[in-house]
């Protein structure tokens, strides 16, 4: 059940920032996002400096193999447990689920210094922590409509999307310096306690959130996971409004994944070091913040406008222009425009799914959504780099190869956006 909707002039970011339940949820998830990425950095540090004994023994001098194994343990739960997590979320209080996920992750991380320094232990703990994380995402998405009014959904989702990217960038940027300072100041093993503390603070912020949940499942009674999963799939099959919105979100995150790979080479072309690609992604995050502000203040005036189509065309244009960009300020401006276009897709589509999905089905739907997105993310992450290398080798020029890939991707994104809108406009245009 939605809380009472605010009047139109209070549906923007100003109203959200005065909404205490939303602030508690937003700041709590932002801190958890930062902690997730810092944990990713911690894994690398522990592998390189933690004296973890390799397993099998044949990996004695194979750091890359150990790192790959840890990354697999970190990413596989997103694909395997995404849908199951949504089913469980529907049966419990969203607030309790969010708090429990943070407390469990904190406990697992704090336990690391007390466990044997064996690689198989690190691998197991990584898998467990990543598995718990999969329950956080659908619970978070299902809690947003409980914290904001109907008119606030679009700007709330745009703000969540931009802060999610900000959390990724901040976590990746401050992780290593923060761990170095903590270890130097407080001694060995203090880095695990610091990271566990971040999750506990996030849990405390979310615990302070006051929301009303009209539907809390049977909390484990009469659990039929397969039937619940089929119910979620059946709902998406018959609700074209929600399923078509999910398709557009999946395309969006696939494009973002490709940009993450291309940003490394692109940074070197516009005057940055390739290791500074995070600044280019940060500019996209800033663009998403401006997109959130735009949707918050003027989104209610944009009804019946093809915002997702505009967003895809904007992103395709930016990718094509990146092929000819060599100035730093132009690169940052284009990246910000890319983020703005992404917000025109993410905000309306995520708000539509939350608004049109019954509270009793949100966990299942968002679990399936996260599953689809995680599977879609793996393809561009795996293919974009090798494809760029292959094209560059074929033409004998790295710069020309990158340019061809960017132009092709820009054209493909524009075509996919137009095709998606053509296929879904009859369903979506009357409710946007």
pLDDT for position 249: 86
Contact 98, 136 (CB under 8 A): yes
* CA–CA dist 191, 208 (Å, integer): 26
User: Phi/psi at 208 (nearest 5 deg)?
Assistant: -75, -10
Q: Quick check: 386 pLDDT over 50?
A: yes
For residue 191, give the nearest of 169, 175, 206, 203 by alpha carbon.
175
Q: Quick check: 9 pLDDT over 70?
A: no
pLDDT for position 273: 77
Contact 179, 191 (CB under 8 A): yes
Q: What is the chain's mean pLDDT, rounded?
A: 80
pLDDT for position 201: 96
Q: What is the mean pLDDT of residues 251-279?
A: 80
Q: Quick check: 19 pLDDT over 60?
A: yes
pLDDT for position 302: 60
Assigned token pair, 5? 């909707």
pLDDT for position 129: 94
For residue 71, give the nearest of 113, 130, 112 by alpha carbon.
130
* CA–CA dist 422, 432 (Å, integer): 15
Q: Quick check: 66 pLDDT over 50?
A: yes
Q: What is the mean pLDDT of residues 298-309?
A: 70
pLDDT for position 347: 81
* CA–CA dist 105, 63 (Å, integer): 26
Q: What is the mean pLDDT of residues 57-69?
A: 59
* CA–CA dist 329, 333 (Å, integer): 6
Q: Quick check: 237 pLDDT over 70?
A: yes
Q: Quick check: 223 pLDDT over 60?
A: no
What Å distances lie between residue 283 and 190, 336, 432, CA to CA?
A: 33, 5, 27
Please, what sign has the CA dihedral across residues 308, 313, 315, 316? positive
Confidence of residue 6 (pLDDT cuts 50, 70, 90): very low
Residue with the bigger pLDDT between 35 and 431: it is 35
Specify the range with the lowest mean pLDDT, choosing from 59-73, 271-285, 302-316, 349-363.
59-73
Q: Could you tell me which residues come within 8 angstroms of residue 258 by beta carbon, excluding any fewer than 6 positions away?
A: 380, 384, 409
Q: Quick check: 119 pLDDT over 50?
A: yes
Confidence of residue 280 (pLDDT cuts 50, 70, 90): confident
For residue 249, give the nearest of 303, 163, 312 by alpha carbon.
312
How many beta carbons lie within 10 A of that of residue 269, not counting itself? 17
The pTM for the full model equals 0.69
Contact 303, 404 (CB under 8 A): no
For residue 414, give the nearest of 187, 255, 297, 305 by alpha carbon.
255
For residue 158, give the nearest of 344, 17, 308 by alpha carbon.
344
* CA–CA dist 116, 69 (Å, integer): 18
Q: What is the mean pLDDT of residues 111-132?
A: 90
Q: Quick check: 202 pLDDT over 60?
A: yes
* CA–CA dist 82, 371 (Å, integer): 5
Q: Quick check: 367 pLDDT over 80?
A: no
Q: Is 108 helix (H, G, I), strand (E, B) or coil?
A: helix
pLDDT for position 411: 94
What Å distances lie between residue 352 and 225, 234, 238, 377, CA to CA?
A: 26, 18, 16, 22
What Å distances lie between residue 313 and 64, 148, 413, CA to CA?
A: 39, 30, 7
Confidence of residue 172 (pLDDT cuts 50, 70, 90): low
Contact 327, 270 (CB under 8 A): yes
pLDDT for position 396: 85
pLDDT for position 7: 43
């Amino acid at each position: 059940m939605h809380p009472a909707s605010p009047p139109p002039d209070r549906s923007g970011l100003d109203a959200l920032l005065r909404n205490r339940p939303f602030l508690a949820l937003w700041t709590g998830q932002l801190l958890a996002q930062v902690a997730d990425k810092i944990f990713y950095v911690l894994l690398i540090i522990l592998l390189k400096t933690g004296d973890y004994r390799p397993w099998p023994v044949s990996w004695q001098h194979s750091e890359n193999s150990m790192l790959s194994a840890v990354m697999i343990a970190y990413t596989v739960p997103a694909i395997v447990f995404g849908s199951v997590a949504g089913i469980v979320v529907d049966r419990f209080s969203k607030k309790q689920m969010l708090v429990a996920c943070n407390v469990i992750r904190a406990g697992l991380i704090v336990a690391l210094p007390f466990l044997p320094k064996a690689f198989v232990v690190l691998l197991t703990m990584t898998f467990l922590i990543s598995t718990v994380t999969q329950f956080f995402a659908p619970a978070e998405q299902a809690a947003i409509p409980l914290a904001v009014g109907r008119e606030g959904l679009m700007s709330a989702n745009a703000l969540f999307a931009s802060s999610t990217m900000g959390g990724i960038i901040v976590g990746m940027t401050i992780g290593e310096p923060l761990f170095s300072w903590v270890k130097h100041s407080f001694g060995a093993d203090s880095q695990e306690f610091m990271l566990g503390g971040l999750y506990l603070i996030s849990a405390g912020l979310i615990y302070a959130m006051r929301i009303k949940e009209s539907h809390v499942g049977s909390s484990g009674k009469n659990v039929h996971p397969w039937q619940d999963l089929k119910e979620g799939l059946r709902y998406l099959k018959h609700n074209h409004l929600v399923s078509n919105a999910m398709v557009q979100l999946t395309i969006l995150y696939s494009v973002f994944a490709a940009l993450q790979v291309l940003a490394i080479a692109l940074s070197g072309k516009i005057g940055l070091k390739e290791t500074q690609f995070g600044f280019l992604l940060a500019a996209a995050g800033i663009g998403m913040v401006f997109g959130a502000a735009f949707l918050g203040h003027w989104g209610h005036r944009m009804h019946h406008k093809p915002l997702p189509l505009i967003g895809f065309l904007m992103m395709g244009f930016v990718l094509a222009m990146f092929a000819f960009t060599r100035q730093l300020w132009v690169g940052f401006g284009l990246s910000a425009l890319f983020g703005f276009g992404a917000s025109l897709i993410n905000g309306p589509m995520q708000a539509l799914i939350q608004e049109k999905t019954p509270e009793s089905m949100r966990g299942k739907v968002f679990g399936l959504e996260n599953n689809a997105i995680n599977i879609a993310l793996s393809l561009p992450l795996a293919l974009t780099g090798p494809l760029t290398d292959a094209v560059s080798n074929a033409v004998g020029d790295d710069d020309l190869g990158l340019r061809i890939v960017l132009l092709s991707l820009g054209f493909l994104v524009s075509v996919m956006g137009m095709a998606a809108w053509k296929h879904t406009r009859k369903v979506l245009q009357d409710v946007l």
